[in-house]
């Protein structure tokens, strides 16, 4: 958490809290701390040695594309080459996004990991598992656990049985002994082993988006929240979660994931989720790569100066497209440019792209659920941009509601930890919840204008598809082609794609008749030697 955002969390808990907290900018002291909650990036994957306590390789984060070849191999091995082959158990498509393919890549490509697995020294986990293991003692008796929200993002977890699935583990060839024990999101997992918090129980664990759901107090069917994660200059993602008390499969490109399970005997709640790979990172790209702004804070004023993209559309598919497409071959595209387009229009198009991506997910959720969402709750660092929040309301054509306390992820982890059995600092039953003040943004443009802009965005998305592949491209006769027709070779010939240089039988021709050589002679187009 940020410098003093822990104070924000405790203030937001309001009447739920019965304890005090003191914070100094140079040195922090925590008094009467009863428990600890953990929240984390969900899919980021680690493997460590349980004997030495050391990681065996750098963590592979959720956005990493090194696993694309692993994904393609797995999909090609399924009946009908279907990326949704495992979705009936996992709620997820086979994608670079999830932990199992990252773990498979580590086992295939990192010798230390493969050896540790063979010698039964390896431990796998997402960041929550690593933190809890280290905090509870590490190699000296550390607890190896995860919660249902993080486990549900691995592709090794059965969202019906709420446990690791032997068939899924066999499919990915992952030994079950390296997996952490799956727990609920709110129970005592162990105690801090050393330091100033020694003896304090760890009793809350939620993946970041589930923690934000709890922090937004989304505990009823049909509630939804949107997280614009991180600050405007960080590589971040938009997550959109729609909560249900029962399992629901999406027919429109969304994920089914565990929302939370707040206690050992509490019911599990599920969520439909859509994820957008690049949101605020496009702002950093405009700053660092194009240099059209000097700081991320400038983009709101720059975009506000024009108030429209004037036909410019930006699809920031820098690492492919996530929901609802799940298309890793897509790449970024800016289209609709004219001689009048300037940096202000690009800035506006970048912010609008975040909103269009959210709308795509909202429409998929409305189709799956059958009841249109009446308003959207938002959180995360990007919500500080008031223009972005207004654009979101305009593009979605529904009100956007922002809590005054933006650290809802940290708040959710604290709420789950404090409500655990054996801790009991507060209750999360509806009658005991404290209302958080909010700001509401109403749509200011007419629906016809919103529909027109959204249709143009969808057209731009189609143009961004199918740019990259890890498979070699050939012309059917052993030729190699660069994908744009620039270089081809069928029978030893070389062609530049415009007919300029060809060679079929040892001859060289420039395409205009200027230089030819059929039998060792060199002649220009005018017969001169």
Give the pLDDT of the chain (529 residues) as one tens digit per residue.
333 344 344 444 444 443 334 444 333 445 688 999 999 989 999 999 999 999 999 999 987 889 989 999 999 999 999 999 999 999 999 999 899 999 999 999 999 999 999 999 999 999 999 999 999 999 999 999 999 999 999 999 999 999 999 999 999 999 999 999 999 999 999 999 999 899 999 999 999 989 988 988 888 777 777 766 444 333 344 566 777 777 788 888 888 999 999 999 999 999 888 877 677 678 889 999 999 998 878 999 999 999 999 999 999 998 888 888 888 889 999 999 999 999 999 999 999 998 999 899 888 888 887 777 888 888 777 788 899 999 999 999 999 988 887 788 899 999 999 999 999 888 888 777 777 788 899 999 999 999 999 999 999 999 999 887 655 444 444 444 443 444 434 344 444 434 444 444 444 444 444 444 434 444 444 444 4
Instruction: Determine the pLDDT at residue 448.
Output: 95
pLDDT at 513: 42
User: What is the Cα Rg of the chain in Å?
Assistant: 27
Q: Tokens 């804070």 belong to which residue?
A: 297
Torsion of CA 219, 93, 465, 109, to 10 degrees: 120
Closest residue by Cα to residue 40 from 59, 25, 24, 56: 59
Beta strands in 278-404 (DSSP E): 313-315, 333-335, 376-379, 400-403
- Rounded (5°) CA angle 227-232-235: 80
Interhelix angle 5-13/408-418, nearest 10 degrees: 60
The residues with which 257 forms a beta bridge, in sequence order, are: 271
CA dist 215 and 289 (Å) reads 35
Name residue, tokens 């997992």: 189
Q: Is the pTM of this model over 0.85?
A: no
Distance of CA 393 to the CA centre of its chain: 22
- Classify strands 333-335 and 313-315 as parallel, antiparallel or unpaired: antiparallel
Is the peptide bond between 211 and the residue preceding it cis, with omega within 30 degrees of 0? no
For β-strands 376-379 and 224-228, DSSP reports them as parallel
CA-nearest of 244, 225, 317 to 276 is 317
Q: What angle do CA 415, 236, 413 make, to 5 degrees?
A: 10
How many Å apart are CA 21 and CA 10, to the nearest integer?
8
Query: In this structure, are residues 34 and 90 in contact, taking their beta carbons and an 8 Å threshold?
Result: no
- In order of 12, 50, 408, the CA distances from 15 in angstroms are 9, 42, 16
Which domains does the chain show, CATH number per domain?
4-183 (3.30.420.40), 231-239+274-464 (3.30.420.40)
Distances (CA, A) of 241 to 29, 151, 273, 492: 35, 17, 5, 55
Interatomic CA distance for residues 201 and 423, integer angstroms: 8
Alpha-carbon 59 to chain mean position:
15
Cα–Cα distance, 300 to 305 (Å, whole number): 9
3-class secondary structure, 403: strand
């Amino acid at each position: 958490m940020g410098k003093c955002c822990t104070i924000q969390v405790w203030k937001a808990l309001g009447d739920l809290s019965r304890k005090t907290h003191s914070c100094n900018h140079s040195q922090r002291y925590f008094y009467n701390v009863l428990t600890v909650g953990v929240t984390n990036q969900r899919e980021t994957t680690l493997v460590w040695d349980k004997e030495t306590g050391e990681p065996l390789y750098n963590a592979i984060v959720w956005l990493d594309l090194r696993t694309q070849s692993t994904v393609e191999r797995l999909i090609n091995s399924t009946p009908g080459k279907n990326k949704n082959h495992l979705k009936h158990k996992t709620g997820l498509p086979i994608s670079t996004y999830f932990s199992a393919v990252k773990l498979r890549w580590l086992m295939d490509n990192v010798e230390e990991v493969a050896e540790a697995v063979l010698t039964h020294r390896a431990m796998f986990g997402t960041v929550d598992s690593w933190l809890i293991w280290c905090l509870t003692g590490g190699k000296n008796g550390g607890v190896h656990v995860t919660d249902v929200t993080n486990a549900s993002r691995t592709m090794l977890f059965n969202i019906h049985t709420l446990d690791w699935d032997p068939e899924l583990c066999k499919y990915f060839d992952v030994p079950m002994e390296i997996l952490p024990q799956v727990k609920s999101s709110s129970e005592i997992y162990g105690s801090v082993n050393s330091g100033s918090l020694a003896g304090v129980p760890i009793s809350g664990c939620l993946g970041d988006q589930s923690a934000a759901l709890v922090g937004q107090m989304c505990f009823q069917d049909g509630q939804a929240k949107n997280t614009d994660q991180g600050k405007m200059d960080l590589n971040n993602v938009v997550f959109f979660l729609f909560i249900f008390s029962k399992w629901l499969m999406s027919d429109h490109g969304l994920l089914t994931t565990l929302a939370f399970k707040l206690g050992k005997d509490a019911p599990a709640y599920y969520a439909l989720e859509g994820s957008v790979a690049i949101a605020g990172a496009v702002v950093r790209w405009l700053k660092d790569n194009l240099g059209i702004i000097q700081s991320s804070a400038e983009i709101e004023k720059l975009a506000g100066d024009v108030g429209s993209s004037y036909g410019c559309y930006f699809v920031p598919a820098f690492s492919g497209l996530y929901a609802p497409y799940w298309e890793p071959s897509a790449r970024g595209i800016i289209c609709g440019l004219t001689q009048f387009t300037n940096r202000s229009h690009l800035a506006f198009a970048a912010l609008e792209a975040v909103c269009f991506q959210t709308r795509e997910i909202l429409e998929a959720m409305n189709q799956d659920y059958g009841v249109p969402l009446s308003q959207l709750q938002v959180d995360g660092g990007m919500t500080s941009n008031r223009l972005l929040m207004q654009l979101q309301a305009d593009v979605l054509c529904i009100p956007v509601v922002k809590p005054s306390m933006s650290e809802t992820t940290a708040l959710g982890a604290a709420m789950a930890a404090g409500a655990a059995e054996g801790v009991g600092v507060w209750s999360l039953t509806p009658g005991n919840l404290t209302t958080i003040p909010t700001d509401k943004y109403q749509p200011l443009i007419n629906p016809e204008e919103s529909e027109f802009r959204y249709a143009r965005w969808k057209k731009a998305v189609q143009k961004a598809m199918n740019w990259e592949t890890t498979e070699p491209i050939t012309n059917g006769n052993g030729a190699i082609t660069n994908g744009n027709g620039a270089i081809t070779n069928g029978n030893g010939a070389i062609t530049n794609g415009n007919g300029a240089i060809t060679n079929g039988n040892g001859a060289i021709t420039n395409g205009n008749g200027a230089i030819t050589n059929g039998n060792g002679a060199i002649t220009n187009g005018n017969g001169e030697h």
